[in-house]
Amino acid sequence: MEDIVTAAQPEKRKIALSGIQPSGIFTLGNYIGAVRNWNDLQDSCDCLFMIANMHTITVRQDPATLKANTYRAYANLLSAGLDPDRNILFVQSQVPAHAELGWVLDCYTMFGELSRMTQFKDKSAKNADNINAGLFTYPALMAADILLYKADVVPVGLDQKQHVEIARDIAARFNGIYGSVFTVPEPLISKSGAKIMSLAEPQYKMSKSDPNPNACISVSDKPEDIVRKFKRAVTDSEATVKRGEGRYGINNLIEIYSIAAGLTPEQVEQEFEGKGYGEFKVKVAEAVIEMLRPFRERSEDLLKNKDYLDQLQRQGAEKAARVAERTMNKVYKKVGLFR
């Protein structure tokens, strides 16, 4: 009997989902640690990128400012090179299924799990006068964001890994009761630039909410401001451009420069061997300015055409809603709810 030879089937592309909150400043850390890497991801995965504006309201927002920041965040995704024809780019609140599934998953998420979430503890400490229920339960909404689209991988920074882990736990619990409903996602963390640190307190992540204006680089900062901030960046007394244990400041600057200049950390150390911090900090600033220049210019151009952004947002929401609707129909049928 002759062997039957069949053509190899193409490997199914993985589904990836990630998002950013439109909460004001878009930082160098956001760009390097997340959005910059998404550009490469769209070549290997079927991607959905979301403006997570529903998560933002766990902290009080000015409505007009939130809308403006949502436009800017969407423009930032486009400026980073994400193609709306190849990916689904959408605003979370324009797809009602996120809120629907969020409530269902609230009922399959344990109080103890939510109590252990480090971001709840951090945000509660910073917003002691507004520790609301949404702040406590938003990991279930984040799980809904992921599970609605059967995402295989979720590109996140190190500080968000815990949210993917609880989404995995929720999915496994639901599947254990009702059968195979959700895909159990995996976190996808970049090997470089996964966590850009503060320029003022380099033991901590660069944060848009940092009260120190010199701690954070915004992608919309003027070149002269970027130079000034890097010149003031905290280093140490050793005055050598070389990585080392406990050398948080110089480790951070080497990481930033290696990414902005397209070099390995080892090459950076070789380039600046025998040179001081002053020269190095200026070079870091110049490399960052050039890396961000096309991004910043493209974003400003897009924000001048709100009608175009509205059109793309509607199209993205329609595409996302079609996928989400299939998941919600299955979920409601499993739990016995009418739809």
Annotated catalytic residues are 123, 205, 208
Bridge partners, residue 236, by sequence: none
CA torsion, points 300, 302, 305, 311, in degrees to nearest 10? Answer: -150
The C-alpha atoms of residue 316 and residue 84 are separated, in whole angstroms, by 7
Do residues 246 and 300 make contact, with C-beta atoms less than 8 angstroms apart? no
CB 144 within 8 A of CB 23: no
Is the C-alpha dihedral spanning 122, 216, 208, 97 positive or negative?
negative
Please, are residues 146 and 167 in contact by the beta-carbon 8 Å criterion? yes
Contact 327, 148 (CB under 8 A): yes
The H helix count followed by the E strand count for the chain is 14, 5
User: Which has the closest alpha carbon to 17: 78, 76, 74, 87?
Assistant: 87
